[in-house]
Amino acid sequence: MEILKLSNVSLTYHSIKSETVALKDISFTVKDGEFVGIVGPSGCGKTTLLAILSKIMPPSSGEIRIKGLPLEQTSNKTALMPQRDQLFEWRSVERNVTLGLELQRKKNKNTVAEALNLLKKYGLYDFRKKKPSELSGGMRQRAALIRTLVTKPDILLLDEPFSALDYQTRIKVADDVYSIIKQEKKTVLLVTHDLAEAISLCDKIIVLTKRPGRIKTIIDIDIDKSKSPLKRRESNGFACYFDKLWNELED
């Protein structure tokens, strides 16, 4: 079932002296439960696209629909997880995880219980009273993801969520996050510069051109989806997809 549809979405930044076209005529659809990657040259508008979908800024033109409704008529259907975990050091893990509920005025006995259940389910319950500085990088990312999940968005927007981690930790955390997302049956749009990461995590990858960002191509990734991202990296065909993506970005 189609959950997200973009039709000819464009965005132009205006200043007193000039205007800059960041995105031009972006059109694609996402099915419920899909994991979709967005790659492209630096400055092509990848993060801008997530900002539009999270309603941080409106598009200059075009239409976006979630479950058939115009984006502007929806509430809390998308949630953005930025590059840094942005956990507040003066709050415990539990109070960080429930921050979104506080901001949306949805914090109550039931929603806190659901948050604690997610902490228990994904191995952070025993650390709920700890400060973020007492967690490993991978645990911090899990806490940030749980903070996003407790608000129950339909679509998760991940903006290079593993970029602050070292390579070995990054691969392990990507496996953990992928497992959690699949168990929670969420739809995902992932912005990344890491082509191997995109191939190992995603069902399809949208390749943008240099600014103004347009869709150059969309590549379906036909690697066994029952495998973990790490195992997908070891699969036959992985190298072919990597070469194909690399060539698309180099042209």
pLDDT digit string, tens, across residues 146-156: 999 998 999 99
Question: CA torsion angle for 224, 245, 160, 8 (degrees, to 10)?
Answer: -100
* 78-102 core/surface letters (b: 16 or more CB in 10 A; e: else): bbbbeeebebeeeebbbbbbbbbbe
| pLDDT at res. 166 | 82
142 lies in the same domain as 69: no
Share of the chain above pLDDT 70, in %: 100
User: Model pTM?
Assistant: 0.91
* Nearest alpha carbon to residue 97 among 74, 77, 76, 127: 127
pLDDT-based confidence at 159, cuts 50/70/90? very high
**pLDDT range class, residue 22, cuts 50, 70, 90:** very high
Q: Are the C-beta atoms of residues 133 and 89 closer than 8 Å to each other?
A: yes
- Residues 188/36, Cβ–Cβ less than 8 Å: yes
Give residue 172's pLDDT band: very low, low, confident or very high (50, 70, 90).
Answer: confident
Mark whether 71 and 161 lie in a shared domain.
Answer: yes
User: Residues 101-113: what's their mean pLDDT?
Assistant: 91
Classify residue 208: in a domain, yes or no. Answer: yes
> What mean pLDDT is predicted for residues 220-227?
91
Compute the half-sphere exposure of residue 164: CA atoms within 13 Å on the CB side of its CA: 12
State the pLDDT at residue 75: 85
| Between 64 and 174, residue with greater pLDDT | 64
CATH number at 6 reads 3.40.50.300
* Cis amide linkage into residue 59, ω under 30° from 0: no
96 located within any domain: yes
Q: 95, 121, 152 — which closes off a domain?
A: 152
Q: 131 and 170 share a domain?
A: no
What is the rounded distance in angstroms from the CA atom of residue 238 to the CA atom of residue 15? 44
Beta bridge mates, 28: 6
d(CA 168, CA 50): 27
Q: Which domain holds residue 242?
A: 2-77+153-250
pLDDT in tens, 108-119: 999 999 999 999
Q: Does residue 31 have a pLDDT over 90?
A: yes
Give the per-residue pLDDT at 141. 87
| Average pLDDT of the residues in 118-140 | 93
User: d(Cα 145, Cα 30) in Å, to the nearest integer?
Assistant: 21
- What is the count of structural domains for the chain? 2
Pairing of strands 155-159, 187-191: parallel
